[in-house]
Structure 1
């Protein structure tokens, strides 16, 4: 490996991010509904399930922020959020509220279980594991570092892909896990993976990415194989 390339990779190591990675199932769920779950969620009294095209949407994932070992800046002031998805199709490239929706709650006080809705998916509780070495993918990394030296060095290029950890699946914080191309680092908050236990899949084993702007606007994108 060329010395110049090694220096670039060393700089990249200084830019690794912490993240909260989801552990789905494998432990006995508690009785408290105000915790992180796939396919279960809570709401305010009388709020119920959100509706899209006349049909109720289901809670894909509920995230309680004080359970996260790493809390992104965008979630400060949010005690709990629930991501809803419609039952017809994935709303690729659609704005917030069009087939998908995120509800935010500043406090846990007064929240109650959502009505149950029949879906082909399986509810599972979520625990969060802390990691400190999440690396960006190839295209997203160019937004934080010049990889020209690495691009021209085969050994360094191999090291970029082989010697850094990139966490797929469901996680909060860190960097989005690229599948096809750049996802976008700016305002990235969390991703939801294709979770086998839940029986949930984005197209062909994909990942859904969720960004939140400084103004509080959520955006959704998805990549798959």
Structure 2
């Protein structure tokens, strides 16, 4: 490996990020409904499940922010959020509120379970594990460092793909785990993976990526195999 390529990899290693990685099920479900869950949700008294084209959506993921060992800056002031999706189509290229919706709550007090039908998907509680070495994929890494010397060096290229950790499951923080191409790092907050236990899949074993601007606007993207 050339010294230049080695220096680039060391620069990239200095930019690794912490992340909160989901562990789905495998433990006794908590009694508190305001904890993190796949396919269960809470809301304010009198609040109903959001609608899309005249039909109720379902809660894919509820997250209690205080449970996250790594909290993205974009979630400052948010105590709990719920990601809802419609039942009939992946809302590719649709803006927030059209086929998908994230509700935010600044307090846990007063929240009550929503009567939401998860359909064929199986509810599971979620616990969170901290990692401190999440690395970006090939295309997103170019936003951080010039990978030209790595691209020209076989040993360095192998090290890029084999000597760094990339966590492809549901996670908050860290870097988005790309599948087809770069996801983009600006405003990235979390990703939701295809989760076998839950029975949820984005198209062909894909991932959904969620971004929140400093003004509080959400957008999303999806990649799959």
Cross-structure match for 2:135: 135
Where 1:66 maps in the other structure, the secondary structure is: helix
Cross-structure match for 1:24: 24
Cross-structure match for 1:60: 60
Cross-structure match for 1:180: 180
Listed as ranges, the matches of 1:135-154 within 5 Å are 135-154=135-154
Cross-structure match for 1:90: 90
**Structure 1: any 5+ residue segments left out of the alignment?**
none
Aligned residue pair count: 225
Cross-structure match for 1:48: 48
Shift of the 118–73 alpha-carbon distance from structure 1 to 2, 3 Å rule, reads closer
Cross-structure match for 2:103: 103
Where 1:164 maps in the other structure, the secondary structure is: coil
Q: Deviations over 1:167-224 (max 9, x none)?
A: 0010000000000001011110000000000000000000000000011000110000
Shift of the 162–103 alpha-carbon distance from structure 1 to 2, 3 Å rule, reads same
State the shift of 1:77 in Å.
0.3
Cross-structure match for 1:35: 35
Root-mean-square deviation over aligned CA pairs? 0.6
State the shift of 1:116 in Å.
3.0
Q: Deviations over 1:65-96 (max 9, x none)?
A: 00000000000100000000000111011100
Is the CA contact 2:59–2:118 (under 8 Å) kept in the aligned structure 1?
A: no
Shift of the 187–37 alpha-carbon distance from structure 1 to 2, 3 Å rule, reads same
Cross-structure match for 2:191: 191
Where 2:127 maps in the other structure, the secondary structure is: strand
For residues 116 and 8 of structure 2, the distance between their equivalents in structure 1, rounded to whole angstroms, comes to: 51
State the shift of 1:46 in Å.
1.1
Shift of the 33–85 alpha-carbon distance from structure 1 to 2, 3 Å rule, reads same
For residues 169 and 110 of structure 2, the distance between their equivalents in structure 1, rounded to whole angstroms, comes to: 31
**Structure 2: any 5+ residue segments left out of the alignment?**
none
Where 2:62 maps in the other structure, the secondary structure is: strand
State the shift of 1:43 in Å.
0.5
For residues 114 and 60 of structure 2, the distance between their equivalents in structure 1, rounded to whole angstroms, comes to: 12
Shift of the 77–50 alpha-carbon distance from structure 1 to 2, 3 Å rule, reads same
Give the TM-score normalised by structure 2.
0.99
Cross-structure match for 2:202: 202
Runs of 4+ in 1 over 3 A off after TM superposition: none
Cross-structure match for 1:11: 11
Cross-structure match for 2:73: 73
Cross-structure match for 2:2: 2
For residues 116 and 191 of structure 1, the distance between their equivalents in structure 2, rounded to whole angstroms, comes to: 22
Cross-structure match for 2:157: 157
